[in-house]
Amino acid sequence: MRICRIVFLIFSVALLFLSATSAAALTPADFAFGMPISLEENGAVYRLSIPPEIYATVTRSDLGDIRIFNSAGAVVPHALRLPEKKNGITEVANPLPFFPLYSDKTGEGKDGLSVRIEQGKDGAIINVESDDTKADKDRKLSGYIIDASKHAGGIHDLDITWQEEEDNFVTTVSVESSDDLTHWSTPVPRATLARMRFSGHEISRKRIRLPIRPARYLRLSWPAGATGIAVKEIIGVQWTGKPEKERIWTALKGKPAPDNAKKGITAYEYDSAARLPVDRVRLRFSEKNTLVNARVLSRLDGGSNWRFRQSGIFYDLKIDDVALVQDTVSIGQTADRYWRVELGGDASADPGNMPELTLGWQPHELLFVARGNGPFMLAYGSARLGDADLDSSRSGLLYQVVGANEEALLKEAVLLPKITLGGTDLLTPEPPPLPWRKWLLWGVLVFGVGIIARMAFSLGKGMNKEENINKS
């Protein structure tokens, strides 16, 4: 019995030692860098925006190596979230009445209009009558009057649809505004309308962005001598809901992909050196009049396979002093670090026209509970956290507490300049440790088996001795 108690004691001490060595609490020194937090107001739950510098330092794409510490060095609950998706804001389409304007072939007469306004039950109806003293053959279409009186102040875009017989064209137009059809201002001095079709592809530009508050009436026109368009329909587009937060754009310089010659393609690779939550990609070329069909790919690290993100036609064209640009596409959100652009068709590698890849992203918002005393510290950057450490900081309860009272409960916090905590060595994983815990357990097990064997040997020896005595 005494030996059994010894074995049990050894096992218990070993297990307690192993559990104690794995339960050390995190401290700020376990992270490479920190940013002190300034609390502008008195509150319980605060929010702040993650700056680009943190994305370039953390070792995990899920930002799992970020913690908030209070003045006592204790971790306080925090949660991360991305800005709410607005799905591009809901659009409401309103067909607008419009009426053609004519001028003589010299381009004069746009302002010499005979205008008669009749007020109907549902609002103002405009009837534009041209000067009948001129023959039809001497008239030229010079623009349109648009009646936006029913939606004054609520039209954000004009969506122009032209007659199908219109061939490929590019033209510039201006949009003027007025509340009385007499005094005009020019909120949109220059906009581009275009349609180009070639080899199964189409470039179309038919939307015009208006100022925040346009007037009751609009006038769409083009310069004298310029080619006009036969409009079929004009839609006034209204936006509803809150707009998305502005994106941050990070430009990357690329280099020719190492497998260009092997695969017979033209590709470029880029390193963002950060784990940004990217959902937009912009592709630009140094040379004008560039049009390419491109594929965009990305991957988490240098050893992963490339994953397709988006493809499309990117162009930067200038036709008759009119610029046509399509350089931005949406992608599914990803925090991949490495990017690749593959050019299709007859595109060839040109060092003088290497595409510049720009990543559009919105930073995470961090919520934390101001538990304990300040000042508080945001610590970040560590490749040496265990799984238990990563799980301990998640606090889904924050979302339940904030709930619908977010604006009332959340207070703003401000990050101060970076300071060094544990240093850059913590950004590199430690070499695999010796499996001393396993060795210790095996040692205890072997020792215990040895003791049991000795007990069995002693017991057998005693039984043999007793048997010999009985025989004698």
pLDDT given for residue 212 in this prediction: 67
Residue 284 pLDDT greater than 80, yes or no? yes
pLDDT in tens, 414-451: 999 999 999 999 998 877 666 666 767 777 777 777 77
Average pLDDT, the chain: 78
pLDDT given for residue 438 in this prediction: 74
By residue count, the chain amounts to 472
Residue 336 pLDDT greater than 60, yes or no? yes
Q: How far apart are CA 325 and CA 192, in angstroms?
A: 10
- Domain assignments of the chain as residue spans, ordered by start: 31-82+364-427, 90-240, 248-361
Share of the chain above pLDDT 90, in %: 27
pLDDT given for residue 376 in this prediction: 95
pLDDT given for residue 309 in this prediction: 95
The CATH architecture assigned to 248-361 reads Sandwich (2.60)
Q: What average pLDDT score do residues 195-222 get?
A: 78
Q: What average pLDDT score do residues 292-303 get?
A: 91
Q: How far apart are CA 292 and CA 312, in angstroms?
A: 8
- Common-topology check for domains 90-240 and 248-361: yes
The answer to whether the pTM exceeds 0.95 is no
- Pick the range with the lowest mean pLDDT from 194-208, 309-323, 371-385: 194-208
User: Confidence band (pLDDT; 50, 70, 90) for 249?
Assistant: very high
Q: What average pLDDT score do residues 174-201 get?
A: 81
Residue 407 pLDDT greater than 90, yes or no? no
Cα angle 293, 294, 296; round to 5: 160
pLDDT in tens, 85-123: 655 567 788 899 888 887 765 555 454 444 455 545 554
Higher-confidence residue of 103 and 187: namely 187
Q: How far apart are CA 401 and CA 413, in angstroms?
A: 18
Q: To which CATH superfamily is domain 90-240 assigned?
A: Galactose-binding domain-like (2.60.120.260)
Give Cα separations from 408 to 166, 403, 472 (angstroms): 55, 10, 96
The 3-class SS string of the chain reads CHHHHHHHHHHHHHHHHHHHHCCCCCCHHHCCEEEEEEECCCCCEEEEECCHHHHCCCCCCCCCCEEEECCCCCEECEEEECCCCCCCCEEEEEECCEEEEEEECCCCCCCCCEEEEEEECCEEEEEEECCCCCCHHHEEEEEEEEECHHHCCCCCEEEEEECCCCCCEEEEEEEEEECCCCCCEEEEEEEEEEEEEECCEEEEECEEECCCCCCCEEEEECCCCCCCCCEEEEEEEEEECCCCCCCEEEEECCEECCCHHHHCCEEEEEECCCCCCEEEEEEECCCCCEEEEEEEEEECCCCCCCEEEEEEEEEEEEECCEEEEECEEEEEEECCCEEEEEECCCCCCCHHHCCEEEEEECCCEEEEECCCCCCEEEEECCCCCCHHHHHHCECCHHHHHHHHHHHHHEEEEEECCCEECCCHHHHCCCCCCCCHHHHHHHHHHHHHHHHHHHHHHHHHHHHHHHHHHHHC
Higher-confidence residue of 322 and 336: namely 336
Q: Tell me the range of 6-15, 258-267, 345-354 where mean pLDDT is highest.
A: 258-267
Q: What average pLDDT score do residues 461-470 get?
A: 62
User: Confidence band (pLDDT; 50, 70, 90) for 354?
Assistant: confident
